[in-house]
A and B are shown apart, each in its own frame.
Chain A
Amino acid sequence: MKLTAALTGLVLLSGLTACSGGAGDTRAANTQPLTVAAYSQPTLQPNFNPFSVNALRGTIGLIYEQLFDFNTAHTGEFMPSLVTKYTWGTGGKAIDLALDNRAKWADGSALTADDVIFTFGYLKQHELLALPVDKVTRTADGVHVTFTKPAYAAIQDLGRTVIVPKKIWAGKDPDTDTNVQPMGSGPYSLGQVTGQQATFKARADYWKQQVPVPQITYVTTSSTNLLTQQLVRHEIDLAYAGIPDVKNQFVQRSPAQNHLWPIYASMKPLMLNLKRKPFDNVHVRKGIALAIDRQAVTDAYNPGVYQPVGPTGLYQGTWSSWIAPADRDPVKPDQAAALAELAQAGYKQQGGKLIGADGKQLKLRILTVSSFADGMAYTQELAGQLAALGIDAAVNGVPSAAYTGDEDKRDFDAIYGDAFTFGTNPYTFYNKMLSKKSKTNVVGWDDPATESALGALAQAAPDAQLAASKPLQQIMLTQLPVIPVAVKGTPYMYNTEHWTGWPSADDPYTTPDPGAISGVFAAKLFLSLKPA
């Protein structure tokens, strides 16, 4: 049975996932590094250019530092990094950032406002800045940034700007430089890189504090099967990946030491193609939304890793104060109500099939990526539920390249695979999902009321954001441009054999991420660990 279990991963050979983590041992006798499964690909190429999309993980967070971030694993509280405090001015068109005056580069020189001003100018010059920054000027304790339009909604992107030293980067091309000898201000310096790992060594002179983990190794793991074995043997200390049956395969192998913490940072809706009949009919969408048993969907694979989500799309667990009490809970499946809605669109059950006015059965093919076993399981459950209602529903599982291809060509009935990330306020979330200008609005939602609500939310001051998000929540409730199904959990797995002090549901001080999402999260994690 053990064999069978260990081999379940073989079907996932190509459905790789990546992870991160690390464990190091400070005790002199033990030099074992903290090891993080940071990549799902088998090989690496050295690249420590923080502006490159293929920068190796750790480049941001361990070597270079960002300005600040917000703890999205908890209630979105401010997380300082190079910036200790921010103050909005002139209706969101300016912000004052106070720099931590202790900050130093690895060569011992001070990290100053000049470096920050240079970095913004450099990003602008190379068209890498997606923020409406107008000017950055020096102030007594940091910098003053002005924007061409109110930038309240862009605060997190602003905070995630990576600061590089002016003296080194002035002559570099951010598009083609691989920056193989990085010099940053973060707690680690680069050790060595081979084709399958990158090692980071703690800096003895890090400006903020003593670095507890002396060495962190980011490794590649190309199959979930292999990753499971490495996790069980504690060869890997931190990982995030869709492992089949993770509770039995990992947690139960050593319940005292092995931990799983899913973080709900994004929402995965069922997306119907609004340009295709009959999904342009709101009654069809409502009927389908009412027919879905969201709990059963999330239980279809690794129960607990995904959670059912309420109809506004915002996760009721972390966003409850934003949502009216009546709209918080996930919609309960109600077949009668579903059929009533579908009847309004002309679909009636005949012999167990939903037949429309044209005499044809309602047909729905749900596009998803075939190599992700978890995504396939969720989608199959969804399709099964809709088939039980009388819809000719089935899963269309395709390789990821074909998935993005079909998505781009808008060639699908429905998609279950895209997820939308919650930010510090609901703007990014709704904007990516619903704005007609958004590349990820693949369903084709095009609605003037939505555009103006998004515009208002983008410019709303922090204390006005809740009210400004209400019109968008209403659109979700009444129009169902997409059908919220579940929040997607990122299953962080770690063990406490070598290191303790990991963030958890009880103490969610950061997301245990190796730098794939945020360098501030990663630095906070590694600076908070303690030897076991």
Chain B
Amino acid sequence: MRRLRGAPFVQRIGFYLIAAWSAVTINFVLPRLMPGDPASAILFKMSELGPVSEQQEELVHRLFGGARGQSWWHEYVSYLNGIIHVDFGRSISFYPATVSSVVKSGFLWTLLLVGSATVIAFVIGTSLGVVAGWRPGRAVDSVGSLVSIFLHSVPYFWVALILAYVFSFTLGWFPLSGGADLGLVPGFTPEFLNSAVRHAMLPAATIVLTSVSGWMIHMRNMMASVVNEDYVLLAQAKGLPGHRVVFSYAARNAVLPSISGFAVSIGMVVGGSLLTEMVFNYPGLGSLLNQAIVNVDYPLMQGLFLIISLTVLAANFVVDSLYVLIDPRTREAS
């Protein structure tokens, strides 16, 4: 019986390995399907800012013109080899900086900003969903659902722009842009942390405002269907206190699909919220991804996509495994 219990686990690991390989390969192919080449992209960017001398032009062509020189197969092999050795090469848009150092520079910003915003949105949204779904049709439900559907349909960057205009530009309560005040050296100093938190408020509010409604609607609908289940009726008939029926009986079951969804969105955190980061000029992975795409920076795109896909896989794996603890039925099935 023990061996049988282990089998799904091994299967799952095999599945994740294959998924990882596919992700790695797609990451390699996708950037190369983009039109243009790095040398032209860099020269174009330079010429937008000012005249490009022949000297600079020759340098760019010498350094980056060869990006298409080798065969794809050759590049693929050296790419895989690089991944095994955790070496992603040098970024093109930030040449000669290495991809790892560039990714590292944005990772923590995004993880803290989008990560905390996602957790906050999940907790608030799910809690509201429990309240709204417990008594569908009541005032809380009608108003809450309406507002959240409205918020859900407003584009992300639009909320970001409005918040930036009202709270930064007009009222001046929050800084306009950036990750922290200029002149502060990143580190665990009170000044820096204070400044970083202030700078993160509006971007985080944008993410929370626009994603909280998704969690809420989802939870409300699950809750509304669960409250009519026999076991909830039974719990009520037994005369259990209301909060216990709501949380231990109804919500505990209703929240399961949300948790799977949460795993995916935690993984997506690393991808950053591209538009939010752009509106607030936030130095995270979303901004880096934008720069990589604009500059046709294959190595940086590969590095970023890899981080994103591996995080999604890792988060899924963790939740998949935890699910077994949360939901007893999955244990029985095996």
Contacts and interface: CB of A to CB of B under 8 A. Distances in A.
Give the most central of A35, A128, A401: most B CB within 10 Å.
A401
B277 interface: yes
Interface string B271-306: 000010111011100011011011010000000000
A192 B94 contact: no
Nearest to A191: B183
Give the most central of A217, A221, A400, A403: most B CB within 10 Å.
A400
Interface residues of A, number: 71
Task: Name the interface size band of chain B.
Answer: 35 or more
A195 B180 CA distance: 10
Nearest to A371: B294
B95 A54 contact: yes
A177 B296 CA distance: 22
Contact of B96 (A3, A178, A233, A404): A178
Contacts, number: 190
A220 interface: yes
A49 B58 CA distance: 17
A131 B94 contact: no
A408 B184 CA distance: 44
B154 interface: no
Given A53-B42, A517-B51, A400 B101 contact: no
B176 A401 contact: no
A200 B283 CA distance: 21
Interface in B99-119: 101-102, 105-106, 109
B44 A403 contact: yes
Given A196-B182, A405-B36, A226 B55 contact: no
Nearest to B183: A199
Nearest to B279: A223
Nearest to A431: B54
Contact of A13 (B43, B157, B165): B157
B51 A421 contact: yes
Interface in A202-248: 217, 219-223, 225-226, 229-230, 233, 235
Contacts of B17: none
B294 A230 contact: no
Given A401-B36, A404-B44, A405-B37, A221 B281 contact: yes
27 contacts: A3-B165, A7-B161, A35-B182, A41-B287, A42-B278, A43-B106, A45-B102, A52-B96, A53-B42, A157-B55, A176-B90, A177-B96, A194-B184, A217-B182, A229-B168, A229-B176, A230-B176, A233-B176, A265-B50, A400-B44, A401-B35, A402-B35, A403-B36, A419-B47, A517-B49, A517-B50, A517-B51
Given A195-B109, A222-B281, A421-B52, 8 more contacts: A14-B290, A53-B42, A53-B63, A194-B185, A196-B283, A226-B279, A401-B296, A408-B36
